[in-house]
Amino acid sequence: MVESTRHSASDSLPSPKERRRLREAMSLSEEQVAAAVGVTRATVRNWETGRSSPRGRKLKLYAQLLADAGPEESPRTPDPEPAPKPKPKPQPQPQPKEAHATTRPKPAAKRAAKPPTLPAHPAPPPPGAPQSTPPLTPPEPPAPTPAEAFDALYAYAAPALVRQAYLLTGRSRLSHEAVERAFHLAWERWPEVAVDGDPPGWVRAAAYEHAMSPWQRMRRVHRHPDAPPAEQDRRELLDALLELPPHYRRTLLLYDGVGLDLPDTAAETEASTPAAASRVLHARAALAERVPGLDAPDTLHDRLTALANSCPAPRLMPAQAVRTGSERRARYWTRVAVTVTTLIVGVTALTMLNAPTRYEPPVSPGRQVEGVPPHKGPQKLTPKDKKLRARLLSEPAHGPERLVPQDR
């Protein structure tokens, strides 16, 4: 009973794109929806992009919130029952004529072929005849393995992503590196990517984030763009694209280049739909000001496609090499994390062993006490004192001059 209730509640939710549209129709922000349901803003964004779905009490609150924004459905009127068709009148059957003795029978091919009717119960085969096996249904093809699914996604999306990253950066080497890095992440998180509603979109977002990271400007190999195209119009269009702000450039490429609709473009760029529309309009105006003849969106789409196709041919690694590199990278960072953790644990244990077990008050520094005369010791002997000392040392200890008591 609990499972059936849960499935019915989850089925009542609209699609992720419709959830975003309903929220914007109520003029609510992601923070307001998150506060009403009791979750974070990132969770609401994942619900609207289809990466996750609410459960339990949050599912009921979220469904009730969306139901308040949706229009009430009008009850359907039952379809009228179709009128009974008139029964056709039976046609009189022609009576067969008696065959004349000289009449030749018609060939079997020219007779009106009537399909033979099968008996209700087929007759049993004669004894000794081979038993016929019933026809088997063709087996279903096996589901692809994770490696095969990843290779298919790589072969389908990688060449186009390299060209799109080139339009964002103007650097061929950086575009290849961004796409390979995005597929490394996709293979590391393949269980998440495989169940995603748009796996190419997941990889595209990761590639765009790496290609447009501001840290790439600090690397010497990516500091300067590649040589511009030889054609004048394509060179002007690429220069105008690279002069746009990064967010405007990415939004314009997704909307006018890739062909996403406005809600999907806003969701991928993590912006609201009005903000994404404003970016597209400002980017189009800036390009039309720099490059003449780009007023129509269809013309801009064709020019962007031609510019992407004119970039250097992608030199992609094999899919197996990408998977191997991803696994090697994961093992390397796992070892680094284990090493750093072990080092921290060792330093902590050594500190605990050498730490004092009781409190020792610190010794205050000494200071000079005033008012007490310094201790100088014995006085220096004068010449008269030295002469007297020498005389005392030279006289014998026993002599007649001394009085010695006698025993009685």
- Domain map of the chain by residue range? 2-69, 146-309
**What value does the mean pLDDT take over residues 73-83?**
41
CATH 1.10.260.40 fits 2-69, yes or no: yes
**Given this model, what pLDDT does residue 85 score?**
46
Average pLDDT, the chain: 77
Task: Assess whether the region 2-69 and the region 146-309 belong to the same CATH fold.
Answer: no
Q: Is residue 234's pLDDT more than 50? A: yes
CA distance 304 to 212: 18
Q: Lowest mean pLDDT: which of 100-109, 328-337, 353-362?
A: 100-109
Tens-place pLDDT, residues 265-314: 998 888 888 999 999 999 999 988 888 888 788 888 888 888 888 777 77
* Nearest to 36, CA basis, from 10, 9, 65: 65
CATH number of 146-309: 1.20.140.160
Tell me the chain's radius of gyration from C-alpha atoms: 47
Going from the C-alpha of 338 to that of each of 184, 243, 294, 334, 342, the distances in angstroms are 21, 44, 55, 6, 6
For the chain, how far is it from start to end, CA to CA, in angstroms?
A: 134
**Given this model, what pLDDT does residue 92 score?**
45
Q: Is residue 408's pLDDT more than 70? A: no
- Which residue intervals of 170-296 are DSSP H helices? 172-188, 190-194, 199-211, 232-243, 246-252, 262-268, 273-290
Tens-place pLDDT, residues 140-163: 677 789 899 999 999 999 999 999
**Given this model, what pLDDT does residue 102 score?**
35
- Provide the 3-class DSSP secondary structure of residue 365: coil
**Given this model, what pLDDT does residue 20 score?**
85
Q: Is residue 366's pLDDT more than 70? A: yes
**What value does the mean pLDDT take over residues 47-72?**
79
Q: Is residue 139's pLDDT more than 80? A: no
Tens-place pLDDT, residues 175-226: 889 999 999 999 999 999 988 888 999 999 999 999 888 887 778 777 777 7
**Given this model, what pLDDT does residue 397 score?**
59
- Answer whether 0.95 is exceeded by the pTM: no
**What value does the mean pLDDT take over residues 122-149?**
65
> Per-residue confidence at 71, pLDDT binned at 50, 70, 90?
low
**Given this model, what pLDDT does residue 118 score?**
39
**Given this model, what pLDDT does residue 136 score?**
53
CA distance 2 to 113: 60
Tens-place pLDDT, residues 303-341: 888 888 877 777 888 888 998 999 999 999 999 999 999
